[in-house]
Structures are given as C-alpha cells and as structure tokens.
Amino acid sequence: MDAISVIRTKRDRGELTPEQIDWVIDAYTRGEVADEQMSALAMAILLNGMNRTEIARWTAAMIASGERMDFAALSRPTTDKHSTGGVGDKITLPLAPLVAACGAAVPQLSGRGLGHTGGTLDKLESIPGWRAHLSNEEMLHVLDTTGAVICAAGDGLAPADKKLYALRDVTGTVEAIPLIASSIMSKKIAEGTGALVLDVKVGSGAFMKTIEDARELASTMVALGTDSGVRTVALLTDMATPLGLTAGNALEVRESVEVLAGGGPKDVVDLTLALAREMLDAAGLKDADPEKALADGSAMDVWRRMISAQGGDVDAPLPVAREQHVVMAPSTGVLTRLDAYDIGVAAWRLGAGRARKEDPVQAGAGVELHAKPGDTVTAGQPLLTLHTDTPEKFDYALGALPDAYDIAQAGTAFTATPVVRERIA
C-alpha cells in the first residue's frame, strides 16, 4: 500500500477500499504518510466526496487509532450531546446537569473556541479553580458521583482525528462534510456513550450556512452513529442570531446559572429543554420531566456538585472585564436582525476567543446584548455592551459591527425563526 495510489483513487473520483482507508489512517497517525500527502487526499475528498460506506470505514479507522472508553459499570444509561458550534452557545452548561438530574449519566467531552465560535472549556475555566483536564479514572469518578462531567478529551481518544483536524485547519479542507462528520463521530463513538443527540447549527454564525448543508451533515452523522450501535438523533437549530443575551466566557457562565435557577433568556431555556428531552428519550428515560428538574432546583444541585468535583468554587464571583463600551441604537424602530457571525467576531476581537489554539482568552471579555430581533428599540438606548480588559481592542471589535443589525420603522411586522428548525433521526 502507498499514499500516492490512495490519493489517485480519490482524485479520479474512485471509491476507496476498506484496506486503503485502514492503511492510510494508520500510516498517517504513525508518521509514515507525510502531511503534504494527507493534505492532497483531504482536498480530493473535499472535491469528490465519499459515500456512506467510505465515511463509515474512515470513521472506524480513526476510532481504531486510539482507545475506547467503557461506561458499562455505571448504574445509569449514558447519553451525550454535541454541538457543531455557534455564538452564545452555552447550552452544554445547563444541559448536562439537567439531564443528570433526570436520571441519566452525561459524559460530555468538550472543546475550546477557535475564531468566532466559543468553546465550552474556555467558559467553564472562568470559574475559579475549575479543571478541564481529568484522567479517565477522575472522569469516571465525577460521572459516577454527580451524574455529569464536562471535560477535555484525553490524548488517547481518536489521535488520528487530532492530527488530521490540525492539518485540515491550515489546508482549506475544513469544509469537507465527510471529514467533519467522521471527526465528530469518531470521538463521540470512541467516548462510549450509549446515546447521542447532535445539535447542528445553521445560519450566519454556524459552520453550516444553509439548511441543505446542515441537513446533509446531520444525516451523515446520524447514519454513522446508527451504524455503530449508538442511538443517534439530530436537531437542526438556528444560529442566525446569537443564543441568549451574551457571547463570551464568564458572561455565558453567569447566564447559564440564571437558567439553572429557573430564569434566563427564553431561547436558551427552550433549546436546553428540547435537547434534554431528546437525550432522555434516547437513553430510555421517556417519563423524566426536565422542566420540573429546572423548576425544583435539582438541576442546580447537580451543577454545584459537578463544578465542585472538578475543583471549581461555585460561590466565587466570576471575572468581570475592566472596561466596557456601550453601542447605542442609532434609530427608533423594530430590531429585525442581529447577525450571529458579526457578534461572534466582535467577541473574539475583544479577547473572548482565539485565532490559534495556543492563544490565551480573557475570561471577562465578550458582548452583552440588550435587545433581540423582534424587540422595539429607541434611538440612544443601549443596544450592545462590549467587555474587555484591553480597551485598545474596542475599535477593532467595533469594526465588525457596522452591518451587524437592522432596525426597521416602528410597527414593522416581524416573524421569529424557531430555535429548532428540523429533527433528523
């Protein structure tokens, strides 16, 4: 077997054999296939695609490159959620303890933000003392004692994906749906959860800009999970507008705690409950009532135990940025659009995100929203508040916002897009 013949097969729109896929993933992980050769293959896959058989084998080969976790010893059924990423997407924070409060075990392996999309681990690290990196034994202990754990994936889980993901990021091949799907699903299947709910974002702030692309990605991932024996369902959810009223790290933690306390923005609560119901149903807990678990404080109790178990001080004040800048509404009328991508870029430029994986983030940086589409605003009222520790970043962030919103004249009819757009199973 050699890399050139594998590249030529896909370059010429051929179907890769199982033997070719197994060999190239293993050889690339071991360093026998060079980065430039895997780059050529990734580009050929981007241009010519893969069929379901190829994608399934590619995913299996990436899983086989590392370890697989096993939660069979737990007394609860396991269920997990994966989001393809967005702006203000803090849903994992209230969702994991909520589902655990309803009787499931939630092993949530999460990631960090890159560019305009936020990362769950960055948000939680704004809590003093909280640790993202746990050994497998520590992860199982937290999961067993609290019902939920949110942590970083270990290096032993699908190492082929870690190497290939970094390569795709610098070779213009991130958009290849077969590679996106196999990247996500190799980690989730290797994680060992019994059920999986996929939150596939669609809109300006999402990776998938159109409903058609989101549907294709969701269908591919649902098929991969199903073929691997994991009960899998996907929701296509709106990401044209940021979720909730904050985009940032500590800002989003604060908002998540409001949801767990029985308040919070309606769109965040609605999506959290929708995903919780899907996760519980997939885990065989159809009679559980997540709305009740939010109302009676049991989800908050799990949150406090889960954060404490990972070293976090749940009673410590969250970081607050040293500087703020208020953006005023330029006119009176109905806010008809608030662009998720532009808000995400502004938050990133303020220090809430990173351009490279090794860059630091500011815990208190981000954007606070004072209105959402459909709200009536008055000229001169606060529309956005920008938060950062470095005021020289304000002009840079403001440069992302001139076209971030539209205000129509008062009385203009407005129809909101539902937060859940489609379900794919």
CB atoms within 10 A of CB 169: 14
Q: Which residues of 362-384 are buried (b: 16+ CB within 10 A; e: fewer)?
A: bbbbbbbbbbbbeeebeeeeebb
Computed over its alpha carbons, how large is the radius of gyration of the chain? 22
* H or E element in which residue 320 lies: none
d(CA 88, CA 117): 8
Cα 310–313–316 angle (5° rounding)?
155
Q: Nearest 5°: phi and psi at 421?
A: -95, -40
Sheet containing strand 195-202, edge to edge, reads 79-83, 195-202, 231-238, 420-424
| Inter-residue contact 251 to 88 (CB < 8 Å) | no
**N- to C-terminal Cα separation, the chain:** 37
Rounded distance between C-alpha atoms, residue 3 and residue 6, angstroms: 5
The residues with which 406 forms a beta bridge, in sequence order, are 337
Which are the catalytic amino acids?
Answer: 82, 161, 168, 183, 187
For the packed helices 177-191 and 211-227, what is the interaxial angle rounded to 10 degrees? 40
